[in-house]
Amino acid sequence: MAKQLTYLSYLIRLWRDEGKQEWRMTVINSHSGEHTNFSSLAELLRFLEQQPKAAEKEALTKKKEDTTSS
């Protein structure tokens, strides 16, 4: 049985292109390498706030799949 993920880890990058005023943002999931881009800090924060709940839901789904396939 696979170990349950007990932490979430992300690399958050913020940058501005030369001559531009707005900041660009990306979050990189350290476990999967998935990149998610954001156009505002509010969107980025909303995403991060949702991640623990989303990870828990994914873990429950995976656990259910593991028990039904055994």
In a domain, 2, yes or no: no
In a domain, 62, yes or no: yes
Structure tokens at 23: 């900041």
Q: How far is CA 67 from the centre of its chain?
A: 26
* Digit-coded pLDDT (tens) for 16-60: 999 999 999 999 999 899 999 999 999 999 999 999 888 888 878
In a domain, 3, yes or no: no
Q: What is the pTM of this model?
A: 0.71
In a domain, 15, yes or no: yes
- Quote the domain boundaries for residue 26: 10-69
Contact 10, 29 (CB under 8 A): yes
In a domain, 5, yes or no: no
In a domain, 4, yes or no: no
- How many Cα atoms occupy the beta-carbon half-sphere of 41 within 13 Å? 4
Report how many domains make up the chain.
1
